[in-house]
């Protein structure tokens, strides 16, 4: 590395030399942004989650574990029964995780063939397909979610169409069900699955598939043993990009699900914007969510390292 500047003939090394010594300063703006707008707020949340709640919102600067205690232990409605495990919040988290996981699987089932199809088109038409995928996303998520509600409601076009074809006699109730929430999540995040997988499949060397066929591998074996392992980083990236925002989503549950039950996002919102005004508990719930997401990401990182080692 020390000899780099003395070898100006190599282009790559020359460009490295240009930024020698000032690389830190070039990074400074992004570090400032991350530090000020990401790490600082998260640190504040962490601190708040260990403080005492002030009545009707706010914190008192006295350390307390009350927020985590409330999350874990149930002392009855009046707070004087012997503590047992609190299932309320575990149920809410479990429901959100289940919804997010299901949305991820659905996105994968629909997204993978879509991405594969686009990546195998002639190079000059791929752009058009990608463009078509992104068009709906030029419109704000809120508007798209409300529009979806109009489409699937009892008197909406979907039900009217099904009734007019004679397939059903009375409208199917879709709005305000978990199915509607699923539909909303799936629709909202589908491109986040398609795009990374597309990028991976596009780089895939199809000679590998041909070689597999030459060696008498069936289509299924080729898919399972060759294609999927090679594009796996794209699949995992897509899953993470769908799973994490679905976990904190509140638009689809509120608008399409009828807000009858808390999801993680609405539970946290209620602690800050609702009557509860319990900032430490909201912060604690956020920290628990954040830790879970971090665990998922660490799992991903380990997978990546393992895959990297395997390739060598």
State yes or no: residue 272 binds other proteins (CB under 8 A). Answer: yes
CB of 44 to other proteins, least distance (A): 11
User: Helix axis angle, 279-311 relative to 40-48, nearest 10°?
Assistant: 130
Q: DSSP letter at 252? A: I
Other C-beta atoms closer than 10 Å to the C-beta of 98 total 11
State yes or no: residue 277 binds other proteins (CB under 8 A). Answer: yes
Q: Which of residues 20-79 bind other proteins (CB under 8 A)?
A: 55-58, 77-79
State yes or no: residue 179 binds other proteins (CB under 8 A). Answer: no
Token reading at 54: 């002030």
CB of 268 to other proteins, least distance (A): 12
Q: Which string of x and - marks every residue 108-147 that binds other proteins (by CB under 8 A)? A: ----------------------------------------
Residue 64 or 261: which CB sits closer to other proteins?
261
Please identify, among the stretches 22-30, 88-96, 196-204, 291-299, the one whose residues bind other proteins according to the rule CB under 8 A: 88-96
CB of 26 to other proteins, least distance (A): 33
Q: Does residue 57 come out as left (phi exceeding 0), alpha (psi in the -120 to 50 range) or beta?
A: left
Among 91, 120, 147, 218, contact with other proteins (rule: CB under 8 A) = 91
For residues 240 and 297, the answer to whether their CB atoms sit within 8 Å is yes
Beta bridge partners of 59: 53
CB of 155 to other proteins, least distance (A): 6
Residue 194 or 285: which CB sits closer to other proteins?
285
Rounded Cα distance between 241 and 263, Å, is 19
Surface-to-core class of residue 267, CB atoms within 10 Å of its CB (0-12 exposed, 13-18 middle, 19+ buried): buried
Residue 128 or 259: which CB sits closer to other proteins?
259
Q: DSSP letter at 167? A: S
Q: Which of residues 200-229 bind other proteins (CB under 8 A)?
A: none
Token reading at 292: 């879970």
Please identify, among the stretches 151-159, 162-170, 184-192, 292-300, the one whose residues bind other proteins according to the rule CB under 8 A: 151-159
Token reading at 276: 């509860």
Tell me, by CB under 8 A, how many residues bind other proteins.
Answer: 30
For β-strands 51-53 and 73-74, DSSP reports them as unpaired
CB of 41 to other proteins, least distance (A): 12
In sequence order, the 6+-apart residues with CB closer than 8 A to the CB of 205 are: none
Surface-to-core class of residue 185, CB atoms within 10 Å of its CB (0-12 exposed, 13-18 middle, 19+ buried): buried
CB of 184 to other proteins, least distance (A): 14
**Footprint of other proteins on this chain (CB under 8 A)?**
55-58, 77-79, 88, 91-92, 153-155, 175-176, 254-255, 258-262, 270, 272-278
């Amino acid at each position: 590395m020390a000899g780099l500047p003395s070898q100006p003939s190599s282009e790559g090394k020359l460009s490295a030399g240009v930024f020698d010594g000032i690389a830190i300063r070039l990074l400074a703006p992004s570090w400032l942004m991350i530090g000020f707008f990401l790490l600082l707020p998260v640190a504040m949340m962490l601190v708040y989650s260990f403080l005492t709640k002030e009545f009707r919102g706010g914190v008192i600067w006295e350390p307390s574990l009350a927020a985590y205690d409330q999350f874990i232990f149930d002392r009855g409605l009046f707070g004087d029964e012997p503590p047992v495990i609190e299932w309320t919040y575990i149920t809410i988290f479990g429901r959100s995780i289940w919804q997010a996981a299901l949305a991820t699987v659905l996105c994968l089932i629909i997204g993978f063939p879509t991405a594969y199809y686009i990546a195998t088109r002639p190079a000059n038409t791929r752009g058009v397909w990608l463009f078509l995928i992104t068009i709906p996303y030029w419109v704000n998520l809120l508007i798209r979610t409300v529009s979806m509600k109009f489409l699937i409601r009892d008197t909406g076009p979907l039900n009217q169409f099904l009734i007019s074809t004679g397939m059903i006699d009375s409208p199917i109730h879709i709005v305000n069900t978990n199915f509607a929430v699923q539909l909303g999540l799936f629709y909202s995040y589908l491109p986040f699955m398609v795009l990374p997988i597309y990028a991976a499949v596009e780089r895939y060397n199809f000679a590998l598939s041909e070689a597999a066929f030459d060696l008498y591998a069936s289509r299924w074996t080729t898919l399972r043993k060759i294609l999927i392992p090679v594009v796996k980083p794209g699949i995992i990236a897509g899953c993470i990009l769908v799973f994490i925002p679905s976990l904190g989503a509140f638009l689809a549950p509120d608008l399409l699900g009828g807000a009858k039950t808390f999801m993680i996002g609405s539970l946290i919102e209620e602690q800050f914007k609702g009557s509860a005004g319990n900032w430490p508990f909201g912060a604690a719930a956020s920290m628990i969510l954040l830790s879970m997401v971090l665990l998922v990401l660490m799992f991903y990182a380990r997978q990546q390292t393992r895959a990297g080692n395997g390739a060598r």
